[in-house]
Structure 1
Amino acid sequence: MSEHRDEIKPTDHDLMELHVEALFTHDQNKRLRIINEPWPGEAPAPRFFLGRTIEGTTLCRFRHDVPEMLIEEVERLCADEPVVRDFQTKPKHVESYMDLLQGERFTMGPCFLIPAEAATALQTVSITKENMTEYLRGGFEWLTSEINYVQPCTALICEGRAVSICRSVRITPKAHEAGLETLEEFRGRGYAAAVIAGWAAAVRQTGVVPLYSTSWDNRASQRVAGKSALFWYGVNFTIT
């Protein structure tokens, strides 16, 4: 079944829908509720999410407490957004969005699909409750408390311990979003690309889509995406 799904490539708009539904929980009216973290906790979702794709479509979602009249006004502006061509360009109507929604701050960043052909010559291992004590030492001890929530979790082992890890930090039945961490002294060696590929393969084995996103000013994460030949499909934008 997963092989068949890999053959049917989702559109950029489909991917943006998978992305927002992985980031936040929704009510029956597709209004945002809370941040969809797999571990316990209920942090509120942002007031507004805008996804702009490289094919020229937009997708906007609003938190459940945003008034309907305001939603209609913002939706008209969303429909006027141009095609996004790079990571750094803010939405055309960013100032209007901030004013109308009385935003305190915004976030923005590129969104990627990890392709099925992503691979690495470096070997990775799966980190589970059974082997976490052996590998999660010397920098990743904090991960032991959440290991059951972030599966699959893939690591590159060096000197007998995990030095780079990719895990599922947003989970739905259709897509997982990657969370990537590499110990500072082991960065720049290609380890991050290796664990992303290993994690994505594990996610695809479950029949769902592996996604990766980062912030517009995180150059290191963007370099990892470039080295991993990830497919860029759009940019997200949120207002809190």
Structure 2
Amino acid sequence: MRDREEIKPTAVELMELHVEALFTHDRNKRLLTINEPWSGEDPAARFFLGRTIEGTALCRFRYDVPEKVIEQLEELCADEPIVSDFRTKPKHFEAYMSLLQGERFTMGPCYLVPAQAAPAMQVISITRDNMKEFLHGDFEWLTSEIDSAQPCIGLVREGRAVSICRSVRITSRAHEAGLETLEGYRGRGYAAAVVAGWATEVRRMGRLPLYSTSWDNFASQSVARKSALSLYGVNFTIN
């Protein structure tokens, strides 16, 4: 694990890990489905653009996007500037939407949880063995996914989990975080603690812990700031 941490992937390498975690690919790196660890195979986005803080942009396309359109999109992607503000839309936003006749898009910052992250409060690993003890009430829905969402780290108050971070996109090289904190327990640092605990477990497995969110999810962005996560870029998708 020490060797992996010392390598320090570049921003574009991290973006590649991110898109590989989000979607399944064919042998030509065309997008197929959303990479969910539980059952279900929803179609992938038609277009993925990952702009990085280093200036290199990474783009991927669903298998059914015409080659002529892909060529045009690739040329535009190569002209995307360095990301300085994750709230700024891509330079060629209008062209992307027009070429794909897009009606909906998603966008948001992408972070690496640093190796030095450590939970400031006591957290626990939640598995099938103890889920009935800690997942009653508002987190009971997670019991059906618990085996697929490992590692799953929780913070317990009054005998139940009130904040949870788990793996929701998984590959052999990286995990993406899924974070949930009950409304009455927000703003207390619980989310930052479970993210740090989750990242520690992911790194222990020899994989990198990634955290991404939406450009308008201010609560999630606040967790990223408080946790001193390392921004490496911004994702953008057209469905």
**TM-score normalised by the shorter chain: which range applies?**
over 0.9
Indicate the residue corresponding to 1:10 in structure 2: 9
Q: Which residue of 1 aligns with 2:132?
A: 133
The residue identity in structure 1 corresponding to 2:61 is F
Shift of residue 102 of structure 1?
A: 1.0
Which residues of 2 match residues 86-165 of structure 1 at below 5 A?
86-165=85-164
- 3-state DSSP class of the match of 2:209? strand
Alpha-carbon distance in 2 for matches of 1:119, 1:148: 24
> What displacement does 1:4 show?
1.2
CA distance in 2, matches of 1:197, 1:121: 8
* Equivalent residue number for residue 232 of structure 1: 231
Counterpart amino acid of 2:15?
Answer: M
- Separation in 1 of the partners of 2:146 and 2:197? 17
Counterpart secondary structure, 2:138: coil
What are the superposed Cα offsets for residues 142-163 of structure 1, whole Å, 9 maximum, x if unpaired?
A: 0000000000000001111100
Alpha-carbon deviation of 1:138? 2.2
Instruction: Output one character per residue of 1:57-91: Cα deviation in whole Å (capped at 9) or x when no partner.
Output: 00000000001111001100001111110110000
Q: TM-score, normalised by structure 1?
A: 0.99
Shift of 1:208: 0.3
Judge which range, 79-88 or 14-23, deviates more.
79-88
For residues 125-152 of structure 1, the C-alpha deviation after alignment (integer angstroms, 9 at most, x for no partner) is 0000000000001210000000000000
Which residues in structure 2 correspond to 1:17-96 (within 5 Å)? 17-96=16-95
Indicate the residue corresponding to 1:214 in structure 2. Answer: 213
Q: What secondary structure does 1:117 align onto? A: coil
Residue type at the aligned position of 1:209: L
Flag structure 1 segments of 5+ consecutive residues without an equivalent.
none
Shift of 1:3: 1.5
Distance in 2, Cα, partners of 1:33 & 1:103: 18
In the aligned structure 1, how far is the partner of 2:228 from the partner of 2:214?
18
Q: Which runs of 4+ in 1 moved over 4 A?
A: none
In structure 1, C-alpha distance between the alignment counterparts of 2:4 and 2:37, rounded to whole Å? 24
What's the secondary structure of 1:74's corresponding residue?
helix
Kindly indicate whether residue 185 of structure 2 is the aligned counterpart of residue 192 of structure 1.
Answer: no
Q: In the alignment, what sits opposite 2:181?
A: 182
SS in 1 for 2:88: coil
CA deviation map 1:214-233 (0-9, x unaligned): 00000000000000000000
- For 1:204 and 1:3, how far apart are their aligned partners in 2? 10
State the Cα distance separating 1:121 from its structure 2 match.
2.3
- Measure the CA separation in 2 of the matches of 1:10 and 1:21: 15
| Alpha-carbon distance in structure 1 between the residues aligned to 2:132 and 2:34 | 29
Q: Hey, what's the Cα distance between the residues in 2 that align with 1:8 and 1:125? A: 29
Alpha-carbon distance between aligned partners in 1 of 2:73 and 2:150, rounded to the nearest angstrom: 37
